[in-house]
Chain A
């Protein structure tokens, strides 16, 4: 195979220089924050440079995205309450973590979401009505993951994490061949989402071991929203989650997940780090699930409303609005337009969702295997005949 082998596992697990980023953030908590809850922009030795690159148009875009996805979330919740969806998984409160990270990704990057990344889906141009198919019992997926490099939602917690590492190992091999062939295609990385609850799953550990061993180009993005249904983060971990990266031998960064500018900056840095072949990064975005875990959940049974109120005061949209207005980057007309766009999106999603046609069970038979399978064919033939029996009974007037 020649001289350009992929990195082999580092037996001692050491040798990785920690990045400039570790000097960033609050000295006590390690938290990287640029845009505070009061809407003022702070500084950071590393990540301010990333923030400075943002054009006003991008900042307005962040706000528009966050407002849109919050409005979408309200509409989907309403659809569930009206009996049109079996379940909904609200994201409200986590808009900055999702929009900031999603907007930091490049089209050639591949995204592995959990099941709450509606905001990331928006940034990847997935038709949001497609997201509702899963929750309306129409499809287990809905969208074509290869179209926007946005994988299907995964409901088995953390099961997508090793997939993300394997995909990154594939990218690594592809890039090596491309470079050997003199290709100038942009380099790619993988962005894998998980939560504070899923961080306890063994698949997260195994993924981080594999990623570290092979220097896989993957960014692990943990949205620590503080609650795994009813169980607080303290039950999942005794130390801040981003610190775990140190144990695996790659950089970990904690970021204010309600600060879209900081989230965008650290994710951009991490993805560049991964794309350049410097290995994986763990980002812990400190955020809060303002609503319920799902529409079947009742947070009043396990947490205090004072805590919710405190987090509402750190709202990701409010602080960006304050900043945009204070800097003269957006006016009433802009915010009115955003509201109107949100309502239009909601109306579109509602009408599209209600118009979704139920699939045919024969499509399910067709999906079990990629190649012909005698048992599936036999059972499908039986079912076709069984169905036809009812039709002929009807014709006979029974």
Chain B
């Protein structure tokens, strides 16, 4: 067991991957000498050299496009996109090429590319630096999307992403980069399957589903609700595509109430997908409509008002009140 931040856990996970898998390599802007703008790749250039830790030209489509080519040649590229809002120049490569290569080759070609994207707000940054674009990718068949919420998961999930034969988008909760946690580098334990959700707190009155940066918020909301006598179950989704509906459904069958929280806008988001699936699977077990807590239908606002925009403990508690009162 070691205590480390989420950022350090990803760094250690990448280091383990580079050590174990000779075909793996990192690509991205400023990931070499600087160690990335969040220092997630700090020290890796020094230890693995510029063939394995590639400072790329400043071109996101080029990064993902060349990663696809490297994967076709048998490599396992791990790309860093510097910020969520800067992934869109690569959107074409990700959705029309990366996601479809296995499909359009009838399974003859695989492109095991990992795309790391720091995402989410709450860091007081300028525009295009606080977005949550996961639903745009989840809508595309052929991609897998995972996001850790703590250091232990981060350490294992980045390695599992690289081992996966399918392309994986790895969303990193940037405002949790400095969150410390215990990491067991010997044994993944319950983190052995990156596509399974985790029940982090058991409860009987309602379920909160969250992922990435909102997991600590959901846990805090559950603690606050407990003070009011409500027993709240909290699920860390971990995987956004595929979604582990079985774990969510089992919880809802027990609690009868479901809140889904994410920073991304609710309209067309992951919460809507979960609400719909759970309504289909467990309609007669629901005591209240599934309630979504998420961003408004607006571009991510300026930092001075982001607290009003972001789902927080109070917004989740308000949703819980509505659900429990139904």
Give the B-binding residues of A (Cβ under 8 A): 1-2, 5-6, 8-9, 110, 139-141, 144-146, 151-152, 154, 156, 159, 161-171, 173-174, 176, 202-203, 206-207, 209-210, 213, 363-364, 366-371, 373-376
Contact = CB atoms under 8 A, between A and B. Distances in A.
B73 A171 contact: yes
Given A159-B96, A171-B73, A166 B66 contact: yes
B65 A144 contact: no
Nearest to B163: A371
A210 B66 contact: yes
Given A9-B57, A156-B96, A159-B97, A166 B103 contact: no
A9 B57 CA distance: 9
Contacts of A141: 104-106, 108
A195 to B, nearest CB: 18
B212 interface: no
Nearest to B243: A375
A141 B106 CA distance: 7
A169 B66 contact: yes
A171 B51 CA distance: 12
Interface string B94-109: 0011001011111111
B62 A162 contact: yes
A164 B107 contact: no
Interface of B: 48-52, 55-57, 59, 61-62, 64-75, 77, 89, 92-93, 96-97, 100, 102-110, 141-142, 144, 164-166, 195, 241-246
13 contacts: A1-B51, A139-B106, A140-B106, A152-B104, A156-B97, A159-B97, A164-B69, A165-B66, A167-B70, A203-B92, A210-B56, A363-B106, A374-B195
A6 B50 contact: yes
Contact of B142 (A144, A162, A363, A369): A369
Given A163-B68, A370-B110, A176 B59 contact: no
Nearest to B241: A375
Given A166-B68, A375-B242, A370 B107 contact: yes
Given A154-B97, A169-B69, A367-B106, 8 more contacts: A1-B49, A145-B105, A156-B92, A162-B61, A169-B70, A210-B59, A369-B144, A374-B245
Contact of B165 (A156, A159, A166, A371): A371
A253 to B, nearest CB: 23
Contacts of A166: 65-73, 77
Contacts of A168: 69
A376 to B, nearest CB: 8
Contacts of A367: 102-107
B50 A161 contact: no
Nearest to A218: B69
Given A162-B66, A203-B61, A371-B164, A167 B105 contact: no
A154 B106 CA distance: 15
Nearest to A112: B69
Contact of A162 (B49, B69, B241, B243): B69
Please give me the 7 A-B residue pairs with the lowest Cβ-Cβ distance, nearest first: A166-B69, A162-B65, A170-B73, A1-B49, A166-B66, A206-B62, A140-B104
